[in-house]
């Protein structure tokens, strides 16, 4: 790999991959080289739109492309594990959309493949890198809200009810938990670390066998701070992330997973707002981290370490088991 350039390939050139490609202009040394899709025209259009050099009509051709150093995986959830493992075995670094896999055993396979290939892999949990959450952590470290007593997080939207859409398909690992609830859990774990213990959960499971609406109470970290979360594909919420404390609270405003504003509310004091706009669209921070780790010869990032991905995945496995959601390929 050149000392200062990371040549990127993309698998699954859809909506989220467009956002990835757009952010590369803000990452020194990042260059989009190629894209692959089972629909060759889709890959061709993506490369033309974003200034890439070539396209591939199958994934294997991209794995064999010697001009690619790292691959961004943006396929449906159910394909993540196999695609990531094949990319790692081909000698590529991997940034794979969240959830990294659909269950913990699959994630363990991915990390084993990364170790065997001596290649970097990271779940693309871009929200962990946003400047607004760095400010939230500073306020917590300074004790600005006193003793933390709880977390409340909502992620809900009214998805059009198309049962052929990936979100409603069990064979593609659809459902509210893996698509949006993961943000509530992962960001809580990011801020408070430690074990995740499911206290209570309930869900509305639709005709296709996926969780369409899900609630959970989860103890987070050594202090067992309670997360109360609600994830939904059928209801639109004010999608905030709120940390409650003995002396006040911190509110990451809607939509919290893509927010540029946090508000510190201390009792008896005027609110303090922190604004943290992006350079491009927020994806640039995770790409910078991948390239930093690659240049340093690291296999994982300390912002989204493998242990964190596994902890969150095991928690979600436990929740799915409790509400009776199992994918047909498991």
pTM summary value: 0.96
Residue 326 to residue 330: CA distance in whole angstroms: 7
- CATH entry 3.30.360.10 includes domain 128-281+312-323: yes
Fold of 6-125: Rossmann fold (3.40.50)
From edge to edge, which strands make up the β-sheet containing 248-252? 196-205, 211-220, 225-232, 148-156, 241-245, 248-252, 261-266, 272-275
Catalytic positions: 98
> What residue ranges do the domains of the chain occupy?
6-125, 128-281+312-323
pLDDT tens for the chain, 330 residues long, are: 445 799 999 999 999 999 999 999 999 999 999 999 999 999 999 999 999 999 999 999 999 999 999 999 999 999 999 999 999 999 999 999 999 999 999 999 999 999 999 999 999 999 999 999 999 999 999 999 999 999 999 999 998 889 989 999 999 999 999 999 999 999 999 999 999 999 999 999 999 999 999 999 999 999 999 999 999 999 999 999 999 999 999 999 999 999 999 999 999 999 999 998 899 999 999 999 999 999 999 999 999 999 999 999 999 999 999 999 999 999
Per-residue burial over 182-206, b = 16 or more CB atoms within 10 Å of its CB, e = otherwise: bbbbbbbbbbbeeebebeebebebb
Fold agreement between 6-125 and 128-281+312-323: no
Element of type H or E holding 154: strand 148-156
């Amino acid at each position: 790999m050149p000392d200062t350039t990371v040549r990127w390939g993309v698998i699954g050139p859809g909506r989220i991959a467009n956002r990835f490609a757009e952010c590369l202009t803000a990452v020194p040394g990042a260059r989009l080289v190629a894209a692959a899709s089972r629909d060759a025209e889709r890959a061709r259009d993506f490369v033309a739109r974003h200034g890439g050099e070539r396209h591939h009509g199958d994934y294997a051709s991209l794995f064999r492309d010697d001009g690619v150093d790292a691959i961004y995986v943006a396929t449906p959830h159910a394909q993540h594990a196999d695609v990531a493992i094949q990319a790692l075995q081909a000698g590529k670094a991997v940034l794979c959309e969240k959830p990294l896999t659909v269950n913990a055993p699959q994630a363990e396979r991915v990390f084993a493949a990364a170790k065997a290939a001596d290649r970097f892999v990271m779940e693309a949990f871009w929200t962990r890198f946003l400047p607004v959450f760095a400010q939230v952590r500073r306020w917590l470290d300074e004790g600005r809200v006193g003793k933390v007593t709880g977390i409340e997080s909502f992620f809900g939207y009214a998805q059009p009810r198309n049962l052929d859409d990936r979100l409603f398909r069990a064979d593609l690992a659809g459902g509210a938990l893996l698509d949006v609830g993961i943000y509530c859990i992962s960001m809580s774990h990011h801020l408070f670390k430690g074990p995740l213990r499911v206290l209570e959960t309930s869900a509305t499971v639709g005709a296709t066998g996926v969780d369409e609406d899900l609630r959970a109470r989860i103890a987070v970290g050594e202090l067992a701070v309670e997360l109360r979360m609600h994830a939904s594909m059928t209801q639109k919420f004010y999608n905030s992330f709120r940390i409650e404390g003995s002396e006040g609270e911190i509110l990451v405003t809607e939509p919290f997973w893509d927010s540029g504003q946090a508000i510190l509310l201390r009792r008896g004091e005027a609110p303090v707002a922190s604004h943290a706009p992006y350079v491009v669209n927020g994806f640039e921070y995770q790409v910078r981290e991948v390239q930093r780790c690659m240049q340093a010869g690291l296999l994982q990032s300390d912002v989204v370490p493998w242990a964190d991905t596994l902890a969150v995945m095991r928690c979600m496995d436990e929740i799915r088991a409790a509400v009776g959601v199992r994918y047909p390929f498991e």
